[in-house]
A = this chain, B = another copy of it.
Amino acid sequence: MDRDETDKDDAVSAHERPTLKTLAFMTGLGVTTVSRALKDAPEIGAETRRRVQLVARQIGYRPNRAGVRLRTGKTNVISLVLNTEREIMSFVSDIIYGVSEVIADTPYHLIVTPYSRSQDPLDPVKYLVETGSADGVIISRTQPNDPRARYMLERGIPFATHGRTDMGLVHPYHDFDNYAFAAEAVRHLAGIGRRRLALVTPPVGLTYYGHTVNGFADALGEVDASEVRFNTVSIDQSIDQIRTRTAQLMRREVRPDGFVSSAAAATLAIVAGIEDAGLKLGRDVDVVSKQSSELLHLFRRELLVVNEDFRLAGTELARAVLGWIGGAAPGSLQTVVKPGEVLSYRG
């Protein structure tokens, strides 16, 4: 016969994980009372409350997530929805770290929900909502008219977008002011005498594509400089493509003497392309680039950079979603961060 297993019902066996039942047995109270005592319900006596909480802490009680989830529907999960294919040299880790930092002292877990190029970006969001797998969702690669945001708004599930939408619908977001970035970059280049500027745009279709293009165009109107069209290139393309196209462009008669680049990886390719064409950075052409980790100055000292903090994006997005879940007004959970100034590492 077994001699390790204790008797039939609710004996508190040595190393099982404690449940409310365990606590109830230890305190001599009912499970209901214990449950309420742990969440500071008002109808529980002050002393009982303290006693229960003490015992709970002593034996390391942790509520069973499945139990809570089954009963209440609350998952205590935030999902970060990510495209697994684009965005080389990716900022993804920074966002994850930022989100993690915020949810570290909450009961929330972070799940990563990927989708691939071939899929409809709506799929993973639908999955999450239909299966009730998360209390809140964070999405990126936001579009002006974003079906995912619309969908979640309809279903009433809290979410935050990395980047803004433009649908006349209110929801939390965090965004970097790419309009200001592009405009500032243009002004800076004009300020150092550059007159023919090219823009390496964000992926067409995303909201910040428009912001960037507008900032670029508007600032061009203010200064004594003109645009050299470089429409065929966006940062979503491969390094090799960007490099080749840049080299082609720089061999033309009318070539840019300044670039504005929306991403560090693209900048590497642009510089390579410039040099392929036999030109020299800082002499023949200047490049202003966004970067998310401070490494570009090591690449070429002549690069002009503006930092974008993706870890901050992560923390803000997490705060926004948690805020919405916590009942805050979605409209109050919108942040746009201004770019810092254009940094130079020359001399």
Contacts and interface: CB of A to CB of B under 8 A. Distances in A.
Interface string A119-163: 000000000001111000000000000000000000000000000
Contacts of A75: 66
Contact of A93 (B60, B69, B92, B269): B92
Given A109-B111, A112-B112, A298 B66 contact: no
A254 interface: no
Given A67-B70, A133-B65, A268 B298 contact: yes
Query: How many copies of this chain?
Result: 2
A114 B311 CA distance: 14
Interface string A77-108: 10000101001111011001100110010000
Contacts of A97: 84, 114
Contacts of A295: 89, 239, 265, 268
A314 to B, nearest CB: 10
A271 B298 contact: yes
A64 interface: yes
A12 interface: no
- Looking at chain A's contact residues, the main secondary structure is mixed
A295 B101 CA distance: 29
A293 interface: yes
A88 B269 contact: no
A206 interface: no
A279 B69 CA distance: 62
A46 to B, nearest CB: 29
A293 to B, nearest CB: 6
A272 B64 CA distance: 52
A238 to B, nearest CB: 10
A281 interface: no
Nearest to A114: B100
B17 A130 contact: yes
Interface string A272-306: 10000000000000000000011100110000000
A275 to B, nearest CB: 9
A36 interface: no
A41 to B, nearest CB: 23
Contact of A130 (B60, B90, B113, B131): B60
28 contacts: A17-B131, A17-B132, A62-B130, A64-B70, A65-B133, A66-B69, A67-B70, A77-B111, A84-B100, A84-B101, A87-B93, A89-B293, A89-B295, A92-B92, A92-B93, A96-B114, A97-B114, A100-B112, A101-B114, A104-B114, A109-B113, A109-B133, A110-B111, A112-B112, A268-B298, A268-B299, A298-B299, A299-B299
A66 B70 contact: yes
A70 B113 CA distance: 23
Contacts of A104: 114, 116
A116 B62 CA distance: 22
Contacts of A101: 84, 114
B65 A131 contact: yes
A20 to B, nearest CB: 13
A308 to B, nearest CB: 15
Q: Which of A88, A93, A130, A272 has the most CB of B within 10 A?
A: A93
Nearest to A60: B130
